[in-house]
Amino acid sequence: VDSSGRMLLGTTNAVAFGSRQVLAVANGTTGGVISLYNSTTATANTRISSNPTGSEINDIGIHAASTNGSIIAYTNNDTERLRIDSSGRLLVGTTTQGTAAADDLTVASTGHTGITIRSGASSSATLMFADGTSGSETYRAQVGYDHSSDSMNFTTSGGFERMRLDSSGRVGIGTTSPV
């Protein structure tokens, strides 16, 4: 325990995160590990809580074998809000992934559901489709919205605009200036 009241394990040098750090765990150059577990059963759910009253509000759950290694975040007294499952899929508002062709991100609710992409008033918001990690492979197709012109565009073949819907509702196919 140092003069600031921080507990340091495996180190005498605490990497500070402002005034919030209380515990530092280090192991040379390989990194420190904090192991939390129930010694009587491997299926118990370990949690890290930010609530000093001991209730489960604002918990982060890190589940063991009972949920196949998922990382789960909770709010509102143990209500699951998001999960990264053992396959790396992100599930928001659900514990069930989508269809196999589109299961990497699943967002669900019992009412209206959607995803918001927010950008600046004079900027663009874009959903990209890629088939590689360099050059035009990173933007083979896209659906974009340009806030400065209030227009939506669709591109294919590495970024070539194929269709535009302008702010007046005009559709241009093969042109960026619908008439």
pLDDT tens by residue, 128-158: 999 999 988 998 999 999 999 999 999 998 8
d(CA 68, CA 87): 9
User: Taking the chain, what is the end-to-end CA distance rounded to the nearest angstrom?
Assistant: 72
Could you tell me the pLDDT band of residue 50, with boundaries at 50, 70 and 90?
low
Q: Three-state SS for 138?
A: helix
CB 176 within 8 A of CB 164: yes
* Residue 32, pLDDT above cutoff 80: no
pLDDT reported for residue 19: 63
Could you tell me the pLDDT band of residue 177, with boundaries at 50, 70 and 90?
confident
pLDDT reported for residue 76: 64
Tokens of 138: 């990173």
Report the percentage of the chain scoring pLDDT > 70: 70
pTM of the model: 0.67
Rounding to the nearest 10 degrees, give the CA dihedral for residues 124, 127, 132, 136: -40
Mention every residue, 6+ apart, whose C-beta is less than 8 A from residue 157. 140, 141
Residue whose entry in the numeric block shows the structure tokens 């960026």: 176
Range among 32-36, 49-53, 72-76, 163-167 rated most confident: 163-167
d(CA 69, CA 115): 26
pLDDT digits (tens, 9 = 90+) for 104-136: 999 999 999 999 999 999 999 999 999 999 988
* Residue 45, pLDDT above cutoff 90: no
